[in-house]
Amino acid sequence: MKQKIIDYLNDIQAFSTDNSESIEAFRIKYLGSKGIIKELFADFKQVEPALKKEIGQSLNKLRNTATDKINELKENLETVGSEKNIYGDLTRPGEQIELGSRHPISIVKNQIIDVFSRIGFTVSEGPEIEDDWHNFTALNLPEYHPARDMQDTFFIEKDPDMLLRTHTSSVQVRYMENNKPPIRTISPGRVFRNEDISARAHCIFHQIEGLYIDTDVSFADLKQTLLYFTKEMFGKSKIRLRPSYFPFTEPSAEVDIYWGLETETDYRITKGTGWLEIMGCGMVDPNVLKNANIDPEVYTGYAFGMGIERIAMLLYQIPDIRMFYENDIRFLEQFKSVM
């Protein structure tokens, strides 16, 4: 028994921890109601009378040592904890707060919205799951119209009338149905096309659509607005309009900006021409106005649409569209300084 007490004493003296759970486990082991010291005191009854004094003293010592040890460990724990939480080293530099960054798509979208809201455009949105009418038919693309094939569509299997919108032009129709001219709105949003994914194309991307309807809106108004936009957005003021075709606008055009040929990158992205295509546009087709119950004899309008990824790739020289959707923190962190 003597040897046992000495061993326990050594064990207690050597014990150390800064964790409150192990202190409690230690307390239960030695001082608990079924603990080592309780047991020793029970065995003490059988000790020969001649040894009772000596063993009794060392048992008391053992108990006091264990109690002191636990109090000491608990005290240490409290001071360490409070130092961390309240006092600590007041000269220590503050802890850095990690700031996040906006996604480049959001940055560019907000910039475009900003440019157009300065000339009176409001922002409107519509559903991503669209019906055939708003995505195609009302936009002068009746069933079997060959131009439907210009945009490979994801249809909803259970309901052939429903699909994932292929462009934000669907929001034009909804806006015209619900608002009277004059109309001046831009609609940003996600669009979906059943296309192979590559460095230049993705099956999900973002567009922003503009629509302006009033009496006497002319192609010249469209041109001025585009010029204003490219100046504000890119700081470039040379644009050209190439005749094109969209079923919902007549006449239709593709807008190029003169990017310049100053650097090697300029050569590469403009394929040596200096010109870059940035969007499609045109005068709203009278059939589209009619479909939305707007009288084409009284009102005219223009519309334009562009891909947000494309603009962001230009502005930030991003070589691969897939980088927008990979959520790679090393890519996203680079936009911390831009709001």
Residue burial 204-221, b: 16+ Cβ < 10 Å; e: rest: bbbbbbbbbbeeebeeeb
User: Per-residue x/- marks for ligand PHE, 241-260, CB under 6 A?
Assistant: -----x--x-----------
For residue 282, how many other CB atoms are within 10 A of its CB? 24
Helix (H) or strand (E) holding 67: helix 49-85
Please, which of residues 290-309 interact with ligand PHE by CB under 6 A?
303-305
Please, which of residues 109-138 interact with ligand PHE by CB under 6 A?
none
CA neighbor of 150 nearest in space, from 65, 59, 55, 247? 247
Specify the residue for token string 């919108």. 165
User: Per-residue x/- marks for ligand PHE, 210-229, CB under 6 A?
Assistant: --------------------
* Least distance to ligand PHE, CB of residue 167, Å: 3
User: Per-residue x/- marks for ligand PHE, 135-174, CB under 6 A?
Assistant: --------------------------------x-x-----
| 183-192: strand order across its sheet | 122-123, 183-192, 204-214, 300-307, 275-284, 249-258, 239-246
* Least distance to ligand PHE, CB of residue 213, Å: 13
Q: Does 278 bind ligand PHE (CB under 6 A)?
A: no
Chain centroid, CA 131 distance in Å: 27
Chain centroid, CA 83 distance in Å: 37
Quick one: DSSP state of residue 296? T
Of the listed pieces 92-100, 212-220, 229-237, 280-288, which binds ligand PHE according to CB under 6 A? 280-288
Total number of residues binding ligand PHE (CB under 6 A)?
Answer: 11
Q: Does 311 bind ligand PHE (CB under 6 A)?
A: no
Q: Does 189 bind ligand PHE (CB under 6 A)?
A: no
Q: Does 288 bind ligand PHE (CB under 6 A)?
A: no
Nearer to ligand PHE, 167 or 184 (CB): 167
**Under 8 Å between Cβ of 145 and 247:** yes
Binding site for ligand PHE (CB under 6 A): 167, 169, 209, 246, 249, 280-282, 303-305
